[in-house]
Amino acid sequence: MVEGIGDQDIAVAFDGDRLHPVVALMRTSLADDLAATLAEGERKIDRWYARHAWCKVDMSDCPDAFANLNTEEEKLRLEATLLKHSVKETR
């Protein structure tokens, strides 16, 4: 993401299909503005991003890094997948 941010203030992860707004790199100069926005009660990160220069960073080479785990079953499925990949790499 560091390489992808360029001159932008915010770099947001993109898995090839969708943005992952909570996976981002931001310039520290935005910290006060983000804190003020949160203090005002805003909770929609995309609204805050829209006020700043941002870009998406293609991370389609690692889509499993963005697994959405809402249930114990989804967590167990991801753990099994990661274990399977780990075993293959050690051979």
- Give the pLDDT score at 88: 64
Asked if 64 and 13 count as a contact pair (C-beta separation under 8 A), the reply is no
Residue in 79, 68, 38, 33 with CA at minimum distance from that of residue 53: 33
Q: Answer yes or no: is pLDDT of 91 > 60.
A: no
- Give the pLDDT score at 66: 84
Asked if 20 and 58 count as a contact pair (C-beta separation under 8 A), the reply is no
Q: Answer yes or no: is pLDDT of 10 > 90.
A: yes
Q: Answer yes or no: is pLDDT of 90 > 70.
A: no
Element (H, E) at 56: strand 54-58
Strand order in the sheet with 54-58: 19-26, 10-14, 54-58
- Give the pLDDT score at 54: 98
84 or 28: which carries more pLDDT confidence?
A: 28
For 23-82, the pLDDT digits (tens) are 999 999 999 999 999 999 999 999 999 999 999 999 999 877 888 889 999 999 988 988
